[in-house]
Amino acid sequence: SMQSSKSSFDIASFERNNVEKYMLSFYVDCASTTTGKMSVEINDRNVAEFVPDCGSPLAFDLAPSYFVSGENDIAFSADAGRYSIQQIKIVPSFKDIQYPTYYFNIKNEEFIKIINETLKARMKIRFADSSHKEFNFRINNIIKRVDISNFEYTYEFPKEDLLQGNNALKIEPINTLEISELKVEYFNP
């Protein structure tokens, strides 16, 4: 008789759109002396067939086309024998993503005020939701790490980080990040 088990997992659309390949890995423990052929299906498509080497880790590289944004199913089945499948991991490898650089200009007059601390500049980001977010941002290549669960984030630029003329700002997400508004503004301290 065929023995099979099925479970499901979620993939964010940002991940699915930027992934190069997935690595599926797991352990197979044999619960009987009989061994048969085992197969793995993702979203009802066969991705691997093998006779398991009991107690050993197995790994397969899989094309992103097997996966969808949202809910995905993975199923293991065997035509003989009884197995326990442990430590199932599906790990994405990403393409090199180029994040945009935003530029803002500080005119001479404002720059003098910033140096004299009669004017300050800040960045305000509004997000699409208040889920947990991790990202790095660079101001003129000085890197800052941010870890928040909030709808918005405000950062006051230290005057040492700013340049007269063009300033470069880059945001590099670590997990999925949806920005609804990004602005740089002056304010009086």
**Which residue is listed with tokens 């669960």?**
149
What is the structure's pLDDT at 36?
A: 85
What is the structure's pLDDT at 157?
A: 98
Cα angle 140, 146, 152 (rounded to 5 degrees) comes to 100
Percentage of residues in the chain having pLDDT higher than 90: 65
Return the CATH superfamily for domain 3-94: Galactose-binding domain-like (2.60.120.260)
Give the residue-averaged pLDDT of 12-21.
85
Bridge partners of 101, per DSSP, are 170
pLDDT in tens, 80-138: 888 888 899 998 888 777 788 999 999 999 999 999 999 999 999 999 888 889 999 99
Residues 77, 78, 82, 85, Cα dihedral to 10° = -40
What is the structure's pLDDT at 18?
A: 83
Which residue ranges does the chain devote to CATH 2.60.120.260? 3-94, 101-187
For the domain made up of 101-187, the CATH class stated in words is mainly beta
Could you give the 3-state DSSP secondary structure of residue 108? helix
